[in-house]
């Protein structure tokens, strides 16, 4: 790193020095040279004018002597010529041997009555000369000054400039070495700290307090390390809290990666398996239940929540498994032991079924004897009234026990449904036919409402998988409720339509409706919206619960919709064949 920074700094200094030397040579040196030439030309012009004045006024000496004296005094070559360009006298040459000067630039200007000048290189001497000519009476005079001194000074300046550049280069070399060493050490310290942070040492700091760009980078690295340290501390605290929470759960929890490798398990999972869960090993080595593995696979690959029942994880025990996808592609599963719950539930169902079964015989006897006594008792008197009350309550208890038995059998799976493809329209007409007379008695119009296509034709619905008798019982309970609580509406509608998960059947009345707070609990056992009215109508409070469990046994769903003073609609869905 040091060498790279050194060469980069050195190259930058060389470029700056070279650019400075070139700029100085072309601008400063050129300007100085032009200024010097202008000064020489101004002095030479003055001397040339004095030379011309002497030639015009001095009649004591010859032209040749005047030329030599003036040339010596000016330190230049003096020349006198007539108007034709012929040289009359020259301080350094024999005039007869010299060529005609009529076409020289400075003499052309002088013969025109002006002071003329020109710079050109001498062919014989090979050095540049400054020529200045002034007019005189009958011709012109000229002084020629050699510019070799200017060239020498220029060369000297360039030599000194080169020497100064070399000195600057040496200083730049020293500065580059020092700066590169200092900068490299600072950068290496930053790189070292960054590497330590990358390997988990979040307490590493650069401790660079300077305010330049490198110092700002070092401060940013330190601030990043502090933020990471705080974040990791928070993550570790959250992870510890989460582990404590999960380990305190009674339910078993296990997490796997996207490729089915066990990542974590709580203590309940370890107790469930009898041995500590093997981390970083395939899940199938820990749990071999196919339903459990299918749920985990659905969560990892399908990114969806999956709930299933597993019975072979531990012999003799059943578990409710809920698998959920994780953001990194894995899944987490929660196993809830249902063994005791199902045992208690089965005991409860068996108790209800047994009690109901045992009550049937004495209730039948009470009903029979009450009816016999009614037949043999006189029309008047309190005895007949009491017997009628006994008979009605015995009949109500009998209906209640029958409904309890039916519900217990459906819940326990004891009732086997003979599922077959059935037309939805047939189910609707069977229900309508059974309740036609009852509806007429209640002065209620019972109608079948068929769904139609956009062109007005009746929509052809696919068959559903259903047990005719069981679904008929569902319709019976729903229509019976509609007759009791929706009689004020004057009519009850039966219908079926195509839904997302099968065929949706509905029973709609136009009575008083049901308050919204009662809707979630309508299908609970013995739940009544209006208890007094339910008792008067002779209901047992189990009809909707029976309907619910029959529909669920058909792998369907049931729900209720209602609005006060606008009636109620009970809907259930059955899967298509």
CB-based contacts of 284, cutoff 8 Å, min separation 6: 260, 293
**CA-to-CA distance for 118 and 129, rounded, in angstroms?**
8
Task: For 300-351, give the DSSP string.
Answer: HHH-S-EEEEESSSSTT--EEEEEEE-TTS-EEEEEEE-HHHHHHHHHHHHH
Beta strands in 165-284 (DSSP E): 252-256, 262-265
Please state which architecture CATH assigns to domain 341-412: Orthogonal Bundle (1.10)
Fold of 420-574: Heat Shock Protein 90 (3.30.565)
Laid out side by side, the sheet with 262-265 consists of 262-265, 252-256, 331-337, 319-325, 306-310
Are 2-152 and 249-337 in the same CATH fold? yes
Report the 10 Å Cβ neighbour count for 352.
17
Assigned CATH class of 2-152: alpha beta
pLDDT tens series, the chain, 577 aa: 556 766 776 677 777 777 776 776 666 666 666 777 788 888 888 888 888 888 888 877 788 888 888 888 888 889 888 888 888 888 888 888 888 887 888 888 888 888 888 888 776 567 788 889 999 888 899 998 888 766 676 777 777 767 777 777 777 777 777 777 777 777 778 888 888 888 878 778 777 777 777 777 888 888 888 888 888 888 888 778 877 777 777 788 888 888 888 888 888 887 877 778 888 888 887 888 888 888 888 888 878 888 888 887 788 788 888 888 888 788 888 888 877 776 766 666 666 666 666 666 676 777 676 777 767 765 656 676 777 777 677 766 766 666 666 666 666 666 778 889 999 999 999 988 988 888 888 888 888 888 777 666 667 888 999 998 889 989 988 988 888 877 777 788 999 988 888 899 999 988 888 888 888 888 877 777 665 455 555 566 777 888 888 888 888 999 998 888 888 899 999 999 8
The torsion angles phi and psi of 37, rounded to 5 degrees, stand at -65, -40
**What letter does residue 28 receive in the DSSP assignment?**
I
pLDDT of residue 574: 92
Secondary structure (3-state) at 33: helix
Q: Which residues pair with 282 in a beta bridge?
A: 261
Q: CA–CA separation, 88 vs 65, rounded Å?
A: 12
Question: If you compute the radius of gyration of the chain from its CA atoms, what whole number of angstroms results?
Answer: 59
Q: Give the residue extent of every domain in the chain.
A: 2-152, 249-337, 341-412, 420-574
Of 265, 279, 269, 255, residue with least CA distance to 328: 255
| Cβ–Cβ < 8 Å for 564, 539 | no
Pairwise CA distance, residues 110 & 116, whole Å: 6
Find out whether 204 and 191 touch, Cβ atoms under 8 Å.
no
CATH T-level assignment (fold) for domain 249-337: Beta-Lactamase (3.30.450)
Q: What is the pLDDT of residue 506?
A: 92
């Amino acid at each position: 790193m040091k060498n790279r920074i050194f060469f980069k700094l050195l190259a930058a200094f060389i470029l700056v020095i070279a650019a400075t030397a070139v700029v100085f040579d072309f601008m400063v040196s050129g300007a100085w040279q032009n200024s010097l030439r202008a000064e020489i030309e101004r002095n030479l012009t003055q001397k040339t004018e004095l030379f011309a004045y002497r030639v015009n006024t001095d009649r004591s000496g010859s032209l040749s002597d005047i030329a030599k004296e003036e040339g010596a005094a000016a330190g230049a070559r003096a020349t006198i010529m007539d108007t034709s360009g012929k040289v009359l006298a020259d301080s350094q040459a024999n005039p007869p041997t010299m060529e005609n000067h009529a076409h020289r630039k400075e003499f052309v200007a002088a013969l025109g009555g002006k002071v003329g000048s020109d710079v050109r290189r001498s062919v014989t001497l090979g050095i540049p000369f400054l020529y200045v000519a002034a007019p005189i009476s009958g011709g012109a005079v000229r002084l020629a000054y050699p510019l070799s001194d200017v060239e020498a000074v220029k060369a000297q300046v360039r030599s000194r400039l080169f020497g100064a550049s070399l000195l600057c280069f040496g200083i730049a070399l020293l500065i580059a070495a020092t700066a590169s060493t200092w900068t490299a050490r600072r950068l290496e310290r930053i790189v070292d700290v960054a590497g330590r942070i990358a390997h988990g040492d979040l307490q590493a700091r650069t401790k660079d307090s300077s305010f330049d760009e490198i110092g700002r980078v070092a401060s940013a690295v330190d601030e990043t390390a502090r933020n990471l340290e705080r974040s990791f501390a928070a993550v570790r605290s959250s992870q510890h809290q989460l582990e404590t929470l999960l380990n305190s759960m009674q339910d078993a929890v296990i997490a796997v990666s996207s490729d089915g490798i066990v990542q974590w398990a709580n203590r309940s999972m370890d107790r469930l398996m009898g041995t500590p869960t093997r981390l970083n090993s395939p899940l199938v080595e820990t749990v071999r239940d196919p339903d459990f593995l299918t749920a985990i696979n659905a969560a990892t690959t399908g990114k969806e929540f999956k709930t299933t029942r597993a019975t072979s994880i531990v012999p003799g025990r059943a578990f409710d498994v809920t698998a959920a996808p994780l953001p990194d592609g894995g899944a987490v599963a929660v196993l809830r032991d249902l063994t005791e719950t199902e045992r208690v539930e089965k005991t409860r169902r068996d108790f209800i079924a047994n009690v109901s079964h045992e009550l049937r015989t004495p209730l039948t006897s009470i009903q029979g004897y009450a009816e016999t006594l009614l037949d043999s008792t006189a029309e008047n008197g309190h005895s007949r009234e009491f017997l009628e009350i006994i008979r009605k309550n015995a009949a109500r208890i009998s209906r209640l026990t029958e409904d309890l038995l039916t519900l217990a059998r459906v819940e326990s799976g004891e009732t086997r449904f003979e599922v077959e493809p059935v037309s939805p329209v047939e189910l609707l007409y069977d229900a309508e036919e059974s309740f036609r007379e009852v509806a007429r008695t209640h002065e209620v119009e019972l109608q079948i409402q068929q769904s139609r296509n956009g062109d007005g034709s009746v929509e052809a619905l696919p068959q559903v998988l259903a047990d005719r008798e069981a679904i008929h019982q569902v319709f019976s309970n729903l229509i019976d409720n509609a007759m009791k609580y929706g009689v004020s509406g004057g009519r009850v509608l039966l219908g079926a339509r195509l839904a997302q998960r099968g065929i949706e059947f509905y029973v709609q009345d136009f009575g008083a409706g049901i308050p919204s707070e009662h809707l979630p609990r309508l299908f609970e056992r013995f739940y009544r919206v209006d208890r007094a009215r339910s008792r008067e109508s002779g209901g047992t409070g189990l009809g909707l619960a029976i309907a619910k469990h029959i529909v669920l046994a058909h792998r369907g769903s049931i729900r209720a919709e209602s609005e006060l003073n606008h009636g109620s609609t009970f809907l259930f869905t059955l899967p298509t064949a």
